[in-house]
Structure 1
Amino acid sequence: MTPSTDVVVIGGGQSGLAAGYHLRRLGIEHVILDAKAAPGGAWQHTWESLHLFSPAQYSSLPGRLMPAQPGQVYPDAGHVVAYLADYEKRYSLPMQHGVWVESVHRDGAYLRVETDGGNWRARAVVSATGTWTRPFIPAVAGRHEFTGRQLHTVQYREPTEFAGQRVIVVGGGNSGAQIAADLAPTADLTWVTPRPPRYLADDIDGRALFDAATARRRALDAGRADTGGVASLGDIVTVPPVRAARDAGLLAAKPMFSRLTTTGVQWVDGARAEADAIIWCTGFRPALAPFAGLRLRGARGHIATDGTRAVDEPRLHLLGYGDWTGPASATLIGVGRPARDAARQITELLH
């Protein structure tokens, strides 16, 4: 017999936990299906030196402040994993780990959620799978000719693996800057960015970014001029390791190359750089494969939404994918508000 519930939440990382918290407060029966075997979401798989952009108290999910990490202003990824595991346990969220959701289909008054461990029937579904499982690498000429190692942000762990090697880091965002700073002292580093690096002012951290994203969304919703949001401030938060590497002159960026060769990269003017490894810090795409059968995806691979609710399937909510599903919704502090709104709209749908 196929089990039924009011809501299936797909994904047990920060967005799934925030959804579970608000559904639980509203008394909505739900289950959270998470592909990971242990709590912590994608934070379990980041590079070792990664730190948050904000102090702990400004990096919290609804209802539970993140405790400070001793000796750290900006907590590291391990501290975040411990916080998320505690959060799941503290609120007794109905989590099922190690369950991979394969597809979602319409089934009369229900949505049928098919997994590798059986099916569920739900009156509503919250997709909180984020983007980490869909790394993006641009289609650069010669990418398959390069005989060295290529990896994406998701595969990078720590700099000793590349000690003494010629490494090209591609990407002008936070991941590119942080990984370049991580490698600069021990590797022969070439940092490549599509445009000159745009550092935010040294005193700006995640608190200001959340405020900027929220102000932009409010302006757009009110029909006012676009404030530019976070993009108007810059691309790179100057967390201490990035600031130190920049000030030491270790982060001199080169413009984007035109192609890869068998042994490295080449620019339009014919200049070349040899490489043992290329690390692509080039972002992600939303993980939406289970919803292919619903035929909801439009331009840029997105599902059209009104807030978090899918326009063409109001029983589906998307949470934590970025500004298109709520201001700063892909951040710890930013996901709480859209999760609350989604839970309230689901309550209205069910009643």
Structure 2
Amino acid sequence: MTRQADVVVIGGGQAGLAAGYHLRRLGLDFIILDAQAEAGGAWQHAWDSLHLFSPAAYSSLPGRPMPVQLGEVYPDAGHVVGYLTEYERRYDLPVRRPVRVTGVHQDGEFLRVETDMGVWRARAVISATGTWWRPFLPAVPGRADFSGRQLHTVEYRSPRDFAGQRVIVVGGGNSGAQIAADLAYDTDLTWATQRPPRFLADDIDGRALFDTATARRRALEEDRTDTGGVASLGDIVAVPPVRAARDAGRLKAAPMFVRLDRDGVVWADGTRAPADAIIWCTGFRPALSHLAPLQLRGRRGHIATTGTRAVDEQRLHLLGYGDWTGPASATLIGVGRPARDAAREVAGMLRA
């Protein structure tokens, strides 16, 4: 069965909903296709203790402030799922789920969106699939030899699953620090990072990070000196659990090991640490396999964009993949502006 819409949005998480909000305001005919069975995007799959970096007032999608969560300064993932679910209902966004997009193809004046539930023909496509669905695992020698349990951030849920075990957490970003802090009290923890952890000042939260990213974008647009953006401040937001574990002396990082063996990890000087489990908090890559038929990737696998629009396919916009497609666009507070810009460009193209 083939159906048609002016715009197909691929992904019904925060980026897809923000796009839908602006497309609705512009009066466009659109559909949002989401592979998940329920609303809430990747937040519904997060670990139990995950909280936002910012208070609710600074974690909102366009048009609808996030309500305060009682008893919490920084809302937890469950609260975010509830907010996204209510946001989708409030604006009556046309989300169809579960629908998995398998490929986007050029089809004359249309883009053909093939799914496991049929085909859509669209005059424009906004890809908003995020990164959660494509975890990255580094090619560390001996990884296949380790006899214990290995998992990525996406599979971690609770310290209860590792109580009393020897656990290696790998990664010096926010997820690594938060999961290491989660495990710091009930496990024999080793936290391994490529470089010494860089904690941001304790008073910096997501709102300050968004402002910093925005200031960098403006400086670059105006040909002023690059401020360095968020990277100039540090790598880890000191949310309360991370701060508590750090201040208690339980969050000390070891250098990155050079290989694994059957029993654990090995450092360059031959030092070994036995382990029952290794948790790889080693980041993500954009989930873009559905765009492969368009053959837009360069030699490094990157799709060239101007703002959110693909340079080599004017009918395609990419939204919510990080600074690549808009400052802080992988965050709740940051996705609103690039979503608005993408919707306006799509509207301009369709009405030309």
TM-score by length of 2: 0.99
Range with greater deviation from structure 2 (141-150 or 296-305): 296-305
Contact kept in structure 2, 1:286 and 1:302, CA below 8 Å: no
The residue identity in structure 2 corresponding to 1:15 is: A
Question: What is the distance in 2 between the residues matched to 1:28 and 1:302?
Answer: 29
Residue type at the aligned position of 2:74: Y
Partner of 2:346: 346
Match of 2:179 in 1: 179
How far apart, in 2, do the equivalents of 1:181 and 1:151 lie? 17
Runs of 4+ with deviation above 3 angstroms: none
1: CA distance between counterparts of 2:230 and 2:47?
Answer: 24
Preserved CA contact (<8 Å) 1:309 1:316: yes
Query: How many Å apart are 1:299 and its aligned residue?
Result: 4.4
Report the equivalent of 1:193: 193
Query: In the alignment, does 2:191 pair up with 1:155?
Result: no
What is the identity, as a one-letter code, of the residue corresponding to 2:311?
V
In structure 2, what is the equivalent of residue 326 of structure 1? 326
8 Å CA contact 1:168–1:189 kept in 2: the answer is yes
Q: Deviations over 1:197-225 (max 9, x none)?
A: 00000000001100111111111122222
Q: Which residue number corresponds to residue 25 of structure 1?
A: 25
Shift of 1:301: 2.1
User: What residue in structure 2 maps to residue 255 of structure 1?
Assistant: 255
What amino acid does structure 1 have at the position aligned with 2:301? Answer: G
Aligned length: 351
Give the stretch that moved more between structures: 297-306 or 58-67. 297-306
Match of 1:57 in 2: 57
Alignment-derived partner of residue 276 in structure 1: 276
Q: How far apart, in 2, do the equivalents of 1:171 and 1:236 lie?
A: 11
Counterpart residue number, 1:140: 140
- Equivalent position amino acid for 1:219 in 2: A
| Secondary structure at the counterpart of residue 224 of structure 2 | coil
Q: Which amino acid aligns with 1:194?
A: Q
The 3-state SS of whatever aligns with 1:313 is: coil
The percentage of aligned residue pairs carrying the same residue is 76
* 1:130-166: CA deviation from partner (whole Å, max 9, x where unpaired): 0000000100011101010000000000001000000
* TM superposition shift of 1:226: 1.4
Conserved 8 A contact 1:34-1:99? yes
d(CA) in 1 for partners of 2:295, 2:219:
31
The whole-number CA distance in structure 2 between the counterparts of 1:101 and 1:293 is 12
SS in 2 for 1:123: strand
Deviation at 1:169, TM superposition (A): 0.1
**SS of the residue 2:191 aligns to:** strand
Any unmatched runs of 5+ in structure 2?
Answer: none
Residue 10 of structure 1 corresponds to 10
Q: Quick check: 1:13–1:41 contact (8 Å CA) kept in 2?
A: yes
1:264 and 1:298 map into 2 onto residues whose CA distance is: 38
Write the distance in 2 (CA, Å) between the matches of 1:227 and 1:115: 42
Q: Tell me what 1:225 maps to.
A: 225
What is the aligned-residue RMSD (CA, Å)? 0.6
1:108 aligns with 2:95: no
Aligned with 1:278: secondary structure? strand
How many angstroms apart in 1 are the aligned matches of 2:260 and 2:224? 44
* Residue segments in structure 1 that go unaligned for 5+ positions in a row: none
Contact kept, 8 Å, 1:135 with 1:284, in 2: the verdict is yes
Aligned-partner residue type, residue 81 of structure 1: V
In the other structure, the counterpart of 2:40 is 40
- In 2, the alpha carbon distance for the partners of 1:86 and 1:175 equals 27
Give the 3-state SS of the residue equivalent to 2:314 in structure 1: strand
Deviations 1:147-190 (A, max 9, x none): 10000000000001000000000000000000000001001000
Q: CA deviation at 1:300?
A: 3.5
Contact 1:15 1:335 in 2 (8 A): yes
AA in 2 matched with 1:116: D
Quote the residue 1:121 is aligned against. Answer: 121
Q: Deviations over 1:249-284 (max 9, x none)?
A: 001100000001111000000000000000000000
Residue 243 of structure 1 aligns with which residue? 243
Residues 35-67 of structure 1, C-alpha deviations (whole Å, 9 max, x = no match):
001000000000000000000010000000000
CA deviation map 1:39-97 (0-9, x unaligned)? 00000000000000000010000000000000000000000000000000000000001
Secondary structure of the residue aligned to 2:135 is coil
* Distance (Å, rounded) in 2 between the aligned partners of 1:99 and 1:68: 32
1:264 paired residue number:
264
Match of 1:213 in 2: 213
| Higher deviation after alignment, 64-73 or 297-306 | 297-306
| Amino acid aligned to 2:39 | P
For 1:225 and 1:144, the matched residues in 2 are separated by 45
Q: Take 2:276 and 2:236, find their aligned partners in 1: how far apart are those partners?
A: 26
